Amino acid sequence: MVLLGACSTPSAPGGADFQPGAPGAGDPYFPTYGNGGYNVAGYDLNLRYDPGTKALRGTATITAAATQDLSRFDLDLAHLAASKVTVDGAVATSAAQGNELVITPTAGIRKNRTFTAVIDYGGTPTQLANKSLGDGGWLSTADGAIALGQPESASTWFPVNDHPSDKATFKLAMTVPDGLTVLSIGVPGPKTSTGGWTTWRWTESSPLASYLSTVIIGKYRMSTTTHDGKPMITAVPDSLPADGPAAKSLARTGEIADFLATQFGPYPFDAYGGIVVNDDRIRYALETQSRPTYSQSFFADDPDSVVIAHELAHQWFGDSVALDRWQDIWLNEGFATYAEWLWQEHAGTDTMKAIFDRTYHGFDWSQTPGNPGVEHLFGDAVYSRGGMTVYALRETIGDAAFARLLTTWTSTYRDGNADTAELIKMAEQVSGKNLGTFFQDWLYGKTAPPRP
């Protein structure tokens, strides 16, 4: 990464010194992810994809507000080229530097001012190379594509401030050859066709972390209903049976979301659903906002409602309330793992105590969820020890205080970001207990914490 901003641009009228925005969001785990100097309010994408040539092209309109007197700013964009960039209607200078698109407007942007950047771009999007964290990014398929992945993926198909600390709304109009389906997040819009091409539209009106966006193109069997007055859209590939384990699992989405709402508070988004993909490169499920995406491998033999519960729990923990830095990923995965246990007890297939006891027994305590490191970002400590931490917290502060904590947390930080320190503070407030030692033992200790 080339560090931009070694010197300032000339002073703008009024005497303010305009400076370049930082080329990273400052996350200790991923210093080059995201950018500084502005906050995005919304992404509006108008794109066309041709599966025959693998070419993606179109326009991204980005509305943002400067957080400093800004001379230039970066967007994350990998392996795609910008052909024209304007800022507030005036042509801006742009240059690709690695996976950064560096934009210099004709005049400085004052702090707190809202501005609009319009980027025409295109090329052949590619898959991300970081295999240690799982295949992701833009994955071309025989009849379409899948854009998916964590901790990054969005930058492989649109210019973005690719860090969860900068949440924004999301609109997508994707044009593809007739006969293909385009699936994404949020509420569907009108579909139009002309000249052998069809444009599909999707809108997510709640701000999201960029890795929670997705677009999936191909031949899918889509079901559209309503649940609690909101659109419920599920989809499975045409290659899978209409009444198979994947479809049966997705059909329980509303039921499971309703149960979780009794524990976590009102469902936080304007749509429900889920998408199953059948691609050997994807061996995970991801909580893409309002419409989780699942690998077919979860449903290879039988329906699996537990993974549905996990990804739906993320709609509260990870999506609506997003992490502020990747070190705190246990806040996402620990609560989602706890939700799995809740669902299993509710369904009568197991008890939370039994699951906790089995998990606690013989666990490798050398890995910590509170600071797992990049190499263990998706390790067992984050998930299983994170889930045990949540269960142990409930046992320590009592059911009533714990219930208040869950609903207060999801309502206070709805549509925003939070970190571990804020959770500890809130847990102490609702319980009236000093929990410093508890969280130190469970999140950072290298030996088995005391059983609750």
Per-residue pLDDT reduced to its tens digit, 376-415: 999 999 999 999 999 999 999 999 999 999 999 999 999 9
CA distance 17 to 118: 25
> What is the average per-residue pLDDT within 146-155?
96
Asked whether 375 and 425 are in contact (CB, 8 A), the reply is no
Per-residue pLDDT reduced to its tens digit, 78-111: 999 999 999 999 999 999 999 999 999 999 999 9
- Kindly state the DSSP code that residue 160 receives in the 8-state scheme: B
Nearest to 143 by CA among 216, 83, 93: 216
**Model pLDDT, residue 2:** 21
**Model pLDDT, residue 7:** 32
**Model pLDDT, residue 135:** 78
Q: Which residue has the tokens 């025989």?
A: 142
Asked whether 74 and 40 are in contact (CB, 8 A), the reply is no
Gyration radius (Cα) of the chain, Å: 22
Asked whether 380 and 342 are in contact (CB, 8 A), the reply is no
Nearest to 442 by CA among 403, 399, 391, 406: 391
pTM of the complete model = 0.95
The amino acid occupying position 340 is E
Nearest to 106 by CA among 81, 68, 70, 65: 70
pLDDT at 35 over 70: yes
pLDDT at 128 over 90: no
SS3 state of residue 259: helix
> What is the average per-residue pLDDT within 129-134?
64
Per-residue pLDDT reduced to its tens digit, 37-85: 999 999 999 999 999 999 999 999 999 999 999 999 999 999 999 999 9
The confidence band for 130, taking pLDDT boundaries of 50, 70 and 90, is low
CA distance 154 to 41: 16
Per-residue pLDDT reduced to its tens digit, 288-332: 999 999 999 999 999 999 999 999 999 999 999 999 999 999 999
Average pLDDT of the chain is: 94
- Residues 57, 61, 66, 72, CA torsion sign: positive
The amino acid occupying position 23 is P
**Model pLDDT, residue 255:** 98
> What is the average per-residue pLDDT within 439-446?
98
> What is the average per-residue pLDDT within 3-31?
67
The amino acid occupying position 396 is T
**Model pLDDT, residue 15:** 41
> What is the average per-residue pLDDT within 108-126?
97
**Model pLDDT, residue 5:** 36
Asked whether 35 and 73 are in contact (CB, 8 A), the reply is yes
Nearest to 380 by CA among 362, 358, 355, 363: 363
CA distance 45 to 329: 28
Rounded to the nearest angstrom, the gap between the alpha carbon of residue 229 and the centroid of all alpha carbons in its chain is 24
Two tokens at 85?
């960039």
Close Cβ partners of 8 (under 8 Å, ≥ 6 residues apart): 17, 18, 19, 71
DSSP string, 1-26: -----SSPPPPPTTS---EEPPSS--
Two tokens at 341?
């246990």
Asked whether 442 and 450 are in contact (CB, 8 A), the reply is no
Structural domains in the chain, sorted by start: 322-444 (1.10.390.10)
Per-residue pLDDT reduced to its tens digit, 248-280: 999 999 999 999 999 999 999 999 999 999 999
Residue 161 C-beta-side C-alpha neighbours within 13 Å: 36
Per-residue pLDDT reduced to its tens digit, 151-204: 999 999 999 999 999 999 999 999 999 999 999 999 999 999 999 999 999 999
- The fraction of the chain above a pLDDT of 70, given in percent, is 95
Asked whether 119 and 159 are in contact (CB, 8 A), the reply is yes
